[in-house]
Structure 1
Amino acid sequence: MTSFRLIICAVIVVLLFLAALAVFSPLTLLNALTWSDTKGVVLKNLSYGEEARQKLDIYGPVPTEEPPSVVVFFYGGNWNSGSREQYGFVGKALASRGIMAVVADYRLSPQVTYPAFVKDAAQAVAWTLKHIGEYGGNARKVFVAGHSAGAYNAAMVALDPRWLSKYGESPAALQGWIGIAGPYDFLPIVAEPVRLAFLYPDTPVDSQPIMHVTAAAPPSLLITGSADTVVNPVKNSGRLATALRTAQAPVQTVSLKGVGHGLLVAAFSPILRSYLPVLDDISTFVFRTSAAARGE
């Protein structure tokens, strides 16, 4: 097949996918179109705390002799919506690359406000560090990741030691962290739902991840789309990357031209992986960072 025909086929696939998104709930469709291309363990509804929403699911890769690296993933939704069941396609995607995924819920606004959801994220990560070995994962190779609001949660856990310390852990125990279209420097707050979640106008200045950058930050991967109109990639990921580099903390950045906010997480689905390399970038980062930590 010629390259021209391949391009035409790719365009048709993407157009059909976008047409389907107009009919079905995007997350429902993504899960429906995600086949399980791994025969690893899947464990659901595990508790990392006592609250109803303090639950997580584990998606394991095909077992190997060496325990796999682990990514704890937090979804987005303005801190007022979302559930781990909607993001099974993310867990399956990571497992298909030989990475154990932990997809965790956290409490939402308006039932709670900042910093409750950050505490939940830290508690889920601390649970993973303490217990993932019991499920076949490597507790010495734990990464935290998220998309949008979930990327904020991941950033706060990785950069601000206050939160993991509440559960007897430290960011130093993390192998690295991954932020996908995350808000890291968003004062003053414009979006009304976010204002409620962050007690605006009394939002603490230290609620911003960029305030907690030090040379001790775990290695970072920041993924953005140039067409993101929901979370400004220059103000947020751009400024955070600059702050990390200034502090001489390791950081990698990826900007996907013409890609918007939602497509950055939709890229985990099998139908879009070939066109949007988000999963490739994350897998490469996880394995290279793990190898570097071992001195390979």
Structure 2
Amino acid sequence: MVMMAKGRRMGWIGWTVTVLLLLAAALFAGWRYAHAAGAVGLLDLADRTVGGTDGTQIAATGLRYGPVPAQRLDIVAPSTPGPHPVLIFVHGGSWNSGRPEDYHFVGRTFARAGYVVVLPGYRLGPDGVYPHMLEDAAMAVAWTAQNIARFGGDPDKVVLMGHSAGAHTVAMLGLERQWLGRQGLPDHFVKGVVGLSGPYDFYPFTSDSARQAFGHVADPKLTQPITFARGDAPPMLLLTGDADTTVKPRNSKVLAKALTERGGRAELVILPGVDHAGPVLKLAQPFARDTSVSAPVQAFLGSLQQSSAPVQAAAE
């Protein structure tokens, strides 16, 4: 009877493991479909269902930072009082798709780590051609500087982060001074930049989306972050998967090399076996148990907070 009981327990454990594996596989397949179909909201639903919302709050949705309908943003914040450092996450989508509300899972992940997360939308598709995506993102950063204290954020501790097309945008804002400068923001207002699966050196344009967004520019080099690599740029973390066939890992490699050769700080993380969507996928439950993305990002963000502390103390 003891052997039978043990056998039943082992059978139950095996059945449970099988169900969990099938659930994970189904969620993974659902994410693939959602990403391909532009329905990333399904991933947000899975994250909210599996991981819950404890420790976080949706502080605002659909706030306008400009007159164009696409110029709106959501804010996800810790449920504890601030001031908290601020992370502005710009979503990807090949410059023609994506909605800030679908990326609340990114907000929850970093709100639990103590960050107020701003999720801006921006012009897409026919209206989302260069330089509109950069102008919109710069406006969102300026709005954040002026308003984020009302939502528990510290406007003196702002970091930019983006995935894919969004990584291109945040890299450009960090490297080419004119975009934030036009908004009246001082140099070094942005304390750091995190790029996930980003295109930084992708001319000549080989995809329809890149040609649509940048093909009209007389000097295409002006659309490339690599052109503006400089030693006094904000510190950058460039994270990519070595199985990314959408945006080749060489983009992150060459930008990191260009920045460090000029005396800047750039950290490069290459994830084995991870494809284009993988880095953002690993920020959602249940996949966030794999900390290969969240751990280096949080370590990088933490290092920025530490490096800014002596400057703040001196200013006080």
TM-score above 0.5, yes or no = yes
CA distance in 2 between partners of 1:112 and 1:14 (Å): 35
- Specify whether residues 276 and 149 from structure 1 end up closer, same or farther in structure 2 by C-alpha distance, changes over 3 A only: same
2:139 aligned residue (96, 104, 123): 123
**CA deviations over 1:30-50 (Å, ceiling 9, x no partner):** 111122132445211111111
CA distance in 1 between partners of 2:20 and 2:300 (Å): 26
1:221 aligned residue (233, 237, 242): 237
Q: Which amino acid aligns with 2:221?
A: V
Q: Which structure's CA Rg is the greater one?
A: 2
CA distance in 1 between partners of 2:33 and 2:126 (Å): 29
CA distance in 2 between partners of 1:9 and 1:112 (Å): 43
Q: Is the 8 A contact 1:158 1:171 kept in 2?
A: no
* 1:20-169 equivalence runs, <5 A: 20-21=30-31, 27-35=40-48, 36-64=53-81, 67-169=83-185
1:17 aligned residue (27, 35, 56): 27
- Specify whether residues 152 and 11 from structure 1 end up closer, same or farther in structure 2 by C-alpha distance, changes over 3 A only: same
Q: Secondary structure at the match of 2:105?
A: helix
TM-score, normalised to structure 2, is 0.85
- Specify whether residues 201 and 156 from structure 1 end up closer, same or farther in structure 2 by C-alpha distance, changes over 3 A only: closer
TM-score, normalised to structure 1, is 0.91
Q: Secondary structure at the match of 1:143?
A: strand
- Identical aligned residues as a percent: 35
CA distance in 2 between partners of 1:292 and 1:226 (Å): 30
Larger relative contact order (CA 8 Å, sep ≥ 6): 1
Q: Secondary structure at the match of 1:290?
A: helix
Match of 1:244 in 2: 259
Q: Is the 8 A contact 1:189 1:200 kept in 2?
A: no
- Specify whether residues 23 and 159 from structure 1 end up closer, same or farther in structure 2 by C-alpha distance, changes over 3 A only: closer
CA distance in 2 between partners of 1:245 and 1:290 (Å): 21
CA distance in 2 between partners of 1:21 and 1:206 (Å): 34
* 1:154-233 equivalence runs, <5 A: 154-200=170-216, 202-233=218-249
Q: Which amino acid aligns with 1:85?
A: E
Does 2:276 align with 1:266?
A: no
Q: Is the 8 A contact 1:27 1:87 kept in 2?
A: yes
- Please state how far the C-alpha of 1:238 moved relative to its aligned partner: 0.4
CA distance in 1 between partners of 2:160 and 2:242 (Å): 23
**CA deviations over 1:153-192 (Å, ceiling 9, x no partner):** 0001111110001110134111101000000101000001
Detail structure 1 runs of 4+ shifted over 6 Å in the superposition: 7-10
**CA deviations over 1:5-58 (Å, ceiling 9, x no partner):** 9x9898655423224446666623211112213244521111111111110011
Q: Which amino acid aligns with 2:73?
A: L
Over aligned residue pairs, what C-alpha RMSD do you find?
Answer: 2.3
Q: Is the 8 A contact 2:134 2:169 kept in 1?
A: yes
Match of 1:293 in 2: 308
Per residue, is there more helix in 1 or in 2?
Answer: 2
- Please state how far the C-alpha of 1:90 moved relative to its aligned partner: 1.1
Q: Is the 8 A contact 2:55 2:80 kept in 1?
A: no
Q: Secondary structure at the match of 2:83?
A: coil
Q: Secondary structure at the match of 2:297?
A: helix
Q: Which amino acid aligns with 1:258?
A: G
